[in-house]
Structure 1
Amino acid sequence: MSPMRMFFGLGIMVAIAYIVFAVGIFFVQPNLVYYPEYKRDITGTPDDVGIAYETVELATDDGETLHSWFVPAPDATATVLFFHGNAGNLSHRMGYLSMFYRLGYNTFIIDYRGYGQSSGVPSESGTYRDAQAAWQYVTVKKGIAPSSIVLFGESLGGAVAAWLATRKEPGLLVLASAFTSVPAMGAKLYPFLPVRLLSRFDYDTLEYLQSVTCPVFVAHSPQDEIVPFTQGQALYEAAPGPKQFLELQGGHNNGFIYMQEDWVKALGDFIDGNLPPPA
């Protein structure tokens, strides 16, 4: 076989392998985006840290049931509607729940469909439906004024919170270690693929921020090994004012706001300074 024919054959094999890999990425995307590990494993409850809470079985408008917790704080000055990241479940966010309680805020945290003890299978449109059901619960069932609600999104939850903020009128939006969009994240992970053509997900936090009208608090770490620091900076630049950027320290999964008292104070000061006083 001539060298030219061998080279041509090798090129064909590489092209086929590339196409197969790209097709594979297209079909396995839900497994790359969602990590509902420990699906039925609730590792603890607020009771374990001495905080009373209510278990809520939240119904969505398409028939799913979301396992949720409402954690009331004495004489609460705000209510945090919390949307967690793409891994684990609500019981892995105990540090956040304790922080909000200490700051004097109620918290309502949900597990998306397919996570924790919630029914269904996660999807982008599904997480948005879940967010709407959560908003309906706190504003209608609990009678909490939208102006005193803080939408808090962690990582993937940042996109969910920002999406909801474009459709409702919350008092404030917090984005912690959030990305600009799934295609942007995919381009970072697979720079050799036409990710924007292959992506089945948007979660376009950056685009949603163009329509947000409430104050925005963005927190991100330069050491974040999953979501680039530059994406956090881009979200801050796109956000309306008033706004604040908090530079965290540590990786994506250990740079939590609640781990440093000065970070907690910065968040609390921003929330208290930008929400109306309680009635």
Structure 2
Amino acid sequence: MISYVERMLIYPAPSIDRGNWKTKWLDKEDVHFESSGGVRLHGWYAPVENPDCVVLYSHGQSEHVANLINVVARLQESLNASVLVYDYRGYGKSQGVPTEAGCVADGLAAQQWLAERAGVLPEELVIVGRSLGGAVSTAIAAERGARALVLENTFSRLTDVAAYRYPWLPVRQVMRNRYDSVERISQYTGPLFQMHGTRDRVVPAKFARELFSACPSAHKRFYTVRGGNHFDSTPPAFYAKLREFLAQDETPTSYGLLDPAPTLATPSVA
């Protein structure tokens, strides 16, 4: 019973009837690939000609790919990127039941599929994740590397968020889905670009700061959205700063020229 309630709280997959599955203005392909345990996953691949980068995007806990049309278009236009968005097991048109191990395996399977399709190495992909997808993306980058890890409104550990929201429950002792991103990001030394809003009441910014501090990368930036909350759309200025970040020379010499933790403020989007 406890594990069932935990799964419902962590993985509130939206109804497949939500979102726009039949959009015609986004040039995309329906794709399917296999994850661990033979679980069949579904995603959308939206390539551009002669991309400057290839992006794997992992979504939040209450989304599926049909909610991400604008996200895909923004990534394409802002970064000149080919983009894959996909659904974890139990989400959208993907099979299976979500678990931490399963969702991480799904992210790794998506990374491998996209690398093969785009003709690049897995570690050459830009790995982007929002909220729960940030934890999945951190696990991917920690295990296989990335051209850059990009995190939006994500957390240090899922147990930290649960303890903050349910302080009267022994969540740290009983939770099975823990998503210890602090431990995982300590294994990642590549570029990191992280965003968080100052009014986020779902994942307080202190958890994002803890995660950022735990990353040993010499090439990392923290982007603060003044007044931003957890469910706001990603501000356009974020994509402009991300494009600048990705365009920087990623040599050890240039690392030493960067402020390791500047705060880049934007106008309030609340």
State whether TM-score is above 0.5.
yes
What is the Cα deviation at residue 95 of structure 1? 2.1
Shift of 1:42: 4.5
Q: CA deviation at 1:275?
A: 6.1
The aligned runs of 1:139-154 (5 Å cut-off) are 139-154=115-130
Q: Structure 1 residues 37, 51: closer, same or farther in 2, change over 3 A?
A: closer
Equivalent residue letter for 2:108: Q
Distance 1:226 1:184, change over 3 A: same
1:56 aligns with 2:31: yes
Distance in 1 (alpha carbons) for counterparts of 2:122 and 2:37: 24
d(CA) in 2 for partners of 1:40 and 1:63? 25
- What CA distance in whole angstroms lies between the structure 2 residues aligned with 1:36 and 1:147? 29
Counterpart residue type for residue 153 of structure 2? S
* TM-score of the pair, normalised by structure 2: 0.86
> Kindly, what percent of the aligned residue pairs are identical?
29
Alpha-carbon RMSD across the aligned residues, in angstroms, is 1.8
Q: Are residues 274 and 202 of structure 1, via their aligned partners in 2, closer, same or farther at CA, if it must alter by over 3 Å? A: farther
4+ residue stretches of structure 1 with deviation over 4 A? Answer: 24-27
Give the equivalent residue in structure 2 for 1:250: 228
Alpha-carbon separation, structure 1, partners of 2:183 and 2:70:
30
Cα offset, 1:156, TM superposition? 0.5
Structure 2 residue 188 is matched with structure 1 residue 212: yes
Paired AA for residue 173 in structure 1: L
Matched residue, 2:50: 75
What residue is the counterpart of 1:35 in the other structure? 12
More helix by share: 1
Q: Give, in angstroms, the shift of residue 108 of structure 1.
A: 0.8
Which amino acid in structure 1 is aligned with residue 11 of structure 2?
Y
* Aligned CA distance change for structure 1 residues 234 and 40 (closer, same or farther; 3 Å): same
Q: Which runs of 5+ in 1 are unaligned?
A: 1-23
AA in 2 matched with 1:101: Q
Query: Residues of 1 paired with 2:239 and 2:223: CA distance?
Result: 10
Equivalenced residue count is: 248
1:6 match: none
Q: Is the 8 A contact 2:112 2:122 kept in 1?
A: no
2:251 is aligned with 1:273: no
* Aligned residues of 2:123 and 2:144 also touching (Cα < 8 A): no
Name whichever of 210-219 and 241-250 sits farther off. Answer: 241-250
Q: TM-score, normalised by structure 1?
A: 0.83
Q: Which runs of 5+ in 2 are unaligned?
A: 252-270
1:272 shift after superposition:
2.2
Which protein is bigger by CA-based radius of gyration?
Answer: 1
Does structure 2 conserve the Cα–Cα contact (< 8 Å) formed by 1:218 and 1:235? no
Letter in 1 for 2:238: W
